[in-house]
Structure 1
Amino acid sequence: MNMPQTAPKTALVIGATGGIGSETALALLARGWKIRALNRNPARAARDMAHLGNIEWVKGDAMSPADVIAAAKGVSLVVHAANPPGYKNWVGTVLPMLESSIAAAKSAGARLVFPGAVYNFGPETFPLVDETAPQRPRTRKGALRVAMEQRLKAASEEGTPVLIVRAGDFFGPCSTGNNTWFSAALVKPGKPVRSVTYPGPHKVGHAWAFVPDLAETIARLVDREADLGAFDVFHFGGHWFDKGVDIAHATARAAGVPDAPIKRLPWPALYLAALFSETLREMLEMRYLWKKPVQLDNRKLVAFLGHEPHTPTEQALRVTLAGLGCLETSSAPRAQLAIEGKA
């Protein structure tokens, strides 16, 4: 007797051309999901993101609730991974884009997934921050992040289930120079590594999130939909360095130049340049997160999943450098990724 086959579920990914969006799409595709992605230029997105495989690209603007609602028809999951390019105009874009995704998830009866950050938290919660820590941000972007999560909490109370996974600074093969410290400061995308620049005090600990691991974590949590709450928040531990500068040394080793010099970021020069650059002004606002150790407490996540997906550090860095065009030869194909478990 042939058993009826269950039709694959569909997820709408907002921001599928970005680091988190593209990696989450890949993780869900690997589980048999159908992926629909919204883009203002779907033909170009399909061409530029061909490595993602079989994705349905639809035309639309994340700022338009009508566009996102139309794209979400029939989906059971909406992944909100949209960010303003280059950190520009956060005030005018992040909440309207989120409102579009909330409206779409509500219309489709879908769960909304939101990758969170540590911007929500002030120094009084450091060095180890769990999901229940008070949110008293010190910056405009932190206040916006708090407002976004408050809006998501309200949406969950109105019947739209929400999953938030907060993580530290991102690095990964699809990260861009616009929105990650790794590709904006540590290395120069498109150029072989000759030196590595580290933004923080060398002995202060720092947390990093390898985006494929974060995406795998999101996918595994979504697999447990029946066990998730209406509003569930998890912290992703990622790659923690007791001495923050150790990621710079590991980057040099992964690039095959272990003796490459480790340089300090010239903060005074950046403050001067920020007078003419909105992107730099927005990035400099986050400097406080480099001055003290900030580690996300992942005990809730580990208790729920059994372990946290974790690619060994130098392997993750080599895949990242290959994706950014920073190796003499890009010899770290994604097929070699070996995601292990970490408590």
Structure 2
Amino acid sequence: MQGGEDRAKKVLVLGASGGIGGETARQLRDAGWQVVALKRGLVAAHELRDGIHWLRGDALNAADVAAAARECGVLVHAVNPPGYRDWDRVVLPMLEHSIAAARAEGATLVLPGTVYNFGPDAFPLLREDSPQRPLTRKGAIRVEMERRLRMACETGLRVLIVRAGDFFGPKAGNNWFSQGLVKPGRPVATISNPGAPGVGHQWAYLPDVARTLVELLARRDGLPAFASFHMAGHWDASGREMAEAIQRVVARHGGTPPRIVALPWWLLNLASPFVATLREMREMRYLWQRPVRMDNSRLVAALGQEPHTPLEEAVEAALRGQGCLPPRTAGRNMASSTFAGTSP
């Protein structure tokens, strides 16, 4: 067994190949943590790549998760089924494996949360104690995940949940920004806006979410056994601010400002029986039909301020990461992140 100090800064990240898992793994590494990640299909049983220890294994295999979590003080459960497939079959077993491994090691279990847990009865302002009565199958599974985590806390597990809006960022995976608003790998000619006119929407820049997790983990000994926090992220009050920011960034890089058009929901309805991702996107349409915002008062009380990157800086990084902007010119540097501590 490692010494207590070493163990406290060793973390297993499940889902490190994805958006939030990957960003969290990189930021924990940069903060001095020893980061272990589990990945299927590795040729070798172990690879050290970019300062992260990759182990061959599967989150659906309890023994793989237990072995990877050995001597870890934190386990980040950021794994999801690829392409939204088999949620009903695999999501809860994967979580149970993480709970068992974290309990065996006395580790804190971290879950990036979503707004899917909530139905319209909790809108428009979501707090950590708002009622969780979801409308969707996926939302019901997320509620069950958190119920099981809360029950595990009653027998000694420590849990940290950070809930944020729709993710976007330079290395994001399945999300509305990269699969709805723009087309990865292409210059932006048209922006498909999913929201109803005048309806506000909340976004979350992945590096800000990861930084929030890292800062909370540094304070985890002073948090409750079941600690849940909401992020304010980027609030798009008009439902067009994100699309207009994309227009400005594209124009600044010499492109023609792209047109903003309404997302063709009718096309999603037609194609959703055949494409799992589109089916899941259609199911979440209710989140675009009325304002949904999160109160970050509890987070600000814990950290003093919420990590916050200015919108256009975040949009530029996201578009560049998606391959939608020309290569960066020499000498161009982006501004540093700032902080926002005001609750909605």
TM above 0.5, yes or no, is: yes
**Corresponding residue number in structure 1 for 2:266:** 268
CA distance in 1, matches of 2:197, 2:265: 14
Amino acid at match of 1:329: P
CA distance in 2, matches of 1:199, 1:332: 35
1:56 counterpart = 2:53: yes
Which of the residues 181, 192, 197 maps onto 1:197? 192
C-alpha deviation, 1:41, in angstroms = 2.2
**Corresponding residue number in structure 1 for 2:19:** 19
Q: Deviations along 1:177-233, whole A, 9 cap, x unmatched?
A: xx2011111011111111211111131000000000000000000000121110000
CA distance in 2, matches of 1:64, 1:243: 45
Post-superposition, which runs of at least 4 consecutive aligned residues in structure 1 deviate over 4 A? 43-47, 330-335
**Corresponding residue number in structure 2 for 1:310:** 308
- Between 255-264 and 152-161, report the one with greater CA deviation: 255-264
Which of the residues 89, 93, 98 maps onto 1:96? 93
- Between 210-219 and 237-246, report the one with greater CA deviation: 237-246
1:105 counterpart = 2:107: no
- Structure 1 spans left out of the alignment, 5+ residues: none
**Corresponding residue number in structure 2 for 1:160:** 157
SS in 1 for 2:111: strand
C-alpha deviation, 1:258, in angstroms = 6.5
**Cα pair 1:113 1:163 within 8 Å, conserved:** yes
C-alpha deviation, 1:278, in angstroms = 2.0
CA distance in 1, matches of 2:268, 2:163: 28
Query: Percent identity among equivalent residues?
Result: 52
CA distance in 2, matches of 1:11, 1:333: 35
1:284 counterpart = 2:279: no
Which of the residues 145, 149, 152 maps onto 2:146? 149
1:68 counterpart = 2:80: no
- Between 36-45 and 329-338, report the one with greater CA deviation: 329-338
SS in 1 for 2:221: helix
CA distance in 2, matches of 1:135, 1:253: 37
Aligned length: 335
Which of the residues 80, 85, 88 maps onto 2:82? 85
C-alpha deviation, 1:45, in angstroms = 12
**Corresponding residue number in structure 2 for 1:222:** 217
| CA RMSD after TM alignment | 2.2
Q: Deviations along 1:140-168, whole A, 9 cap, x unmatched?
A: 01100000000110111111100000111
CA distance in 1, matches of 2:283, 2:144: 18
C-alpha deviation, 1:333, in angstroms = 10
CA distance in 2, matches of 1:335, 1:186: 25
CA distance in 2, matches of 1:192, 1:278: 26
CA distance in 2, matches of 1:148, 1:253: 40
